A and B are shown apart, each in its own frame.
Chain A
């Protein structure tokens, strides 16, 4: 088209030579522009040809798939099968230390993809060493709501606290902090919906709430036509210079356990709790790297404080009476990468038995697990080597005083391998 225009104008100039120099100059410029445009068109065509060379076919829309392989070799001075946390209502879930000897860990299969312009989906299935399959996460998430809102639905790791939504293979220690074990049975991943909002500020501010069924501890999976779990969380975060990033927050979890059993072999009767459970979590994480370049050295400081109030009724055999507890826990951990591929970490766990009262007049002799006034503690040390971001070997020592009057010394060697798609890890 440009060419014909140019020809027409040239023709015009030829017919009316009176137009003179100005028009010729303009024509010359026009010709130059056409040449430039043609060159650019050529370039665009080259790129387009290259882009269309990508393979197409039925499998072109396959979701990203990755697989995590894990395993441990462990020894411990006390039997992991009799593990319990003295003074705390025993959670259901995986809370014990690693099995003795060689043991396969959970193999995680992660499948994720955008569904359409509006939704994204993700499945995290865990193949347990006991030959069962557990659905850790299976959720959809909105992409197109706008104004900073996101809705998630299905089964997902709750956004409460800090460590809760980190997948196990990305933890800095092989096992969860005691606070998570005692108050959430390791982690909270209920079936439900989540609404999250990010404020339009340069400072990171996130507010959110979740409604769930109360499928897992501290809930009891009620067979009811209403929500059994409610959470709310707020997080703020930002940078200090180029080197430091931080985030801190406050979360709340409310559940109404019904006949939550207290399996205690040493108790003189069968016990269960019905009532209300309120849990508060304060969390913070700070990451530092020189100039923000974490490749060679970096440091991570992470801590959370849990406070739980439970009130309701405790039944003990045929007796029923009031029950109230106020308990708390905290952990603090630091992980330092002192050279490329190598990290060391230390974690301190402490639980506070607090006050536990019951209207039946039970003593710790009747119900040792629930009523013994004991503050469990644990010290954990680890060193790990990660040849690439897809592989990690870890050596971990722990002195675990979860059981009153006994110290469990644990040593374990762990491997974590990740195959397939390059996953993105949350901060």
Chain B
């Protein structure tokens, strides 16, 4: 009985040990929160790299984590519209409500690409604010890290210096790495690609690659045979270098097209944990570049 009570007490008290309890909606923000927060934060990441962030449910474990969170770090721009509002209303936690300092949206501090000029569901699953998959442009990571460290310092004033120092050190390493990646990625410039979903737009934009088609006929719709054959015809006229998909995208359609168009199908980790090599933000970019460079020749 005593053991049980102690265990229960431990279970109840343990989340409060670190200064900030962070609930990250996606792995990239979980990784960034760790880079900046160090051992002053405990980070729980709501999704894995093998899950589609559009299609997550507000499952009980996430409500329990949201209940204890001091800070929720999400993408925003309606990416999590199907589940984050429920975590906010069901958790009974005033800190993480929209508009409170405990709710941080990364998309709010970067310039979004592909803002639709017309909003209509006949165009598929589009986001009014623009394309929300912002984290594969290192400039965006730098912008978000500055805003996030400020937010953490705001919530945990006692450790302000700590967050500032860590952010500075991260930014230094990040800008060095960015310069390296830009040099490495030079051969990728102008490379034509077919993507699965419009979730690599920022990467393509950053490295100056060209997106010549998407396997999804409209954002959010599964690839159809009709659309794939059309794409195949198009590739015969103007060939692409590769078919690229994120780790969480279903592989069959990409392989089908790649085989027939006689180009390689490439899987990129998309976010931290998407491949064994992508262990943090740095190795995520390293691995992504390695995989793309392998087919650039």
Cβ-neighbour of B61 out of A120, A150, A204, A295 (below 8 A):
A204
B52 contacts the other chain (CB 8 A):
yes
Question: B55 touching A424 by the CB < 8 A rule?
Answer: no
A245 contacts the other chain (CB 8 A):
yes
A131-155 at interface with B (beta carbon < 8 Å): 141, 143-150
B73-130 at interface with A (beta carbon < 8 Å): 78, 81-86, 88-95, 97-100, 108-111, 121, 124-125
A169-226 at interface with B (beta carbon < 8 Å): 196-206
Question: B64 touching A204 by the CB < 8 A rule?
Answer: yes
A238 contacts the other chain (CB 8 A):
yes
Question: A341 touching B111 by the CB < 8 A rule?
Answer: no
Cβ-neighbour of B92 out of A197, A205, A387, A425 (below 8 A):
A197
A135 to B121, CA, bound (A): 28
A287 contacts the other chain (CB 8 A):
yes
Question: B59 touching A237 by the CB < 8 A rule?
Answer: yes
Question: A202 touching B60 by the CB < 8 A rule?
Answer: no
B58 contacts the other chain (CB 8 A):
yes
- Taking the closest CB of chain A, its distance from the CB of B262, in whole angstroms, is 26
Question: B125 touching A388 by the CB < 8 A rule?
Answer: yes
A354 to B97, CA, bound (A): 48
A145 to B12, CA, bound (A): 20
Q: Which residue of B lies closest to A422 (CB)?
A: B81
- Taking the closest CB of chain A, its distance from the CB of B114, in whole angstroms, is 14
Cβ-neighbour of B94 out of A144, A239, A426 (below 8 A):
A144
Q: Which residue of B lies closest to A245 (CB)?
A: B59
Question: B50 touching A205 by the CB < 8 A rule?
Answer: no
Question: A245 touching B61 by the CB < 8 A rule?
Answer: yes
Question: A200 touching B68 by the CB < 8 A rule?
Answer: yes
A57 contacts the other chain (CB 8 A):
no
Cβ-neighbour of A43 out of B15, B99, B143, B221 (below 8 A):
B143
- Taking the closest CB of chain A, its distance from the CB of B78, in whole angstroms, is 7
A364 to B99, CA, bound (A): 62
- Select the stretch in A44-52, A102-110, A261-269 that faces chain B: A44-52
Which residues of the partner chain A approach B109 to less than 8 Å between Cβ atoms? 47
Question: A238 touching B64 by the CB < 8 A rule?
Answer: yes
Chain A interface, >50% SS class: mixed
- Range, interface on chain A: 35 or more
Which residues of the partner chain B approach A424 to less than 8 Å between Cβ atoms? 58, 81-86
Question: A201 touching B11 by the CB < 8 A rule?
Answer: yes
Contact with B along A222-243 (1 / 0, CB 8 A): 0000000000000111110010
Question: B92 touching A47 by the CB < 8 A rule?
Answer: no
Question: B64 touching A51 by the CB < 8 A rule?
Answer: no
Which residues of the partner chain B approach A245 to less than 8 Å between Cβ atoms? 57, 59-61
Which residues of the partner chain A approach B92 to less than 8 Å between Cβ atoms? 145-150, 196-198
Which residues of the partner chain B approach A389 to less than 8 Å between Cβ atoms? 82, 125, 220
Question: A202 touching B11 by the CB < 8 A rule?
Answer: yes
B48 contacts the other chain (CB 8 A):
yes
Question: A287 touching B59 by the CB < 8 A rule?
Answer: yes
Question: B51 touching A292 by the CB < 8 A rule?
Answer: yes
Q: Which residue of B lies closest to A196 (CB)?
A: B92
B222 contacts the other chain (CB 8 A):
yes
B65 contacts the other chain (CB 8 A):
yes
A11 contacts the other chain (CB 8 A):
no
Which residues of the partner chain A approach B146 to less than 8 Å between Cβ atoms? 40
Which residues of the partner chain B approach A206 to less than 8 Å between Cβ atoms? 60, 63
Which A residues have a C-beta under 8 Å from some C-beta of B? Answer: 40, 43, 46-47, 50-51, 114, 117, 120, 141, 143-150, 196-206, 235-239, 242, 245-247, 287, 291-296, 340-341, 387-390, 422, 424-427
Q: What would be 8 A-B contacts, judged by CB atoms less than 8 Å apart? A: A148-B67, A203-B61, A237-B64, A247-B59, A294-B57, A295-B55, A295-B248, A388-B125
Which B residues have a C-beta under 8 Å from some C-beta of A? Answer: 11-12, 15, 47-48, 50-52, 55, 57-61, 63-65, 67-68, 78, 81-86, 88-95, 97-100, 108-111, 121, 124-125, 143, 146, 220-222, 248, 250
* New A-B pairs, 9, CB < 8 Å, besides A388-B121, A425-B86: A50-B111, A204-B64, A237-B59, A292-B48, A293-B50, A293-B52, A294-B55, A388-B221, A427-B59
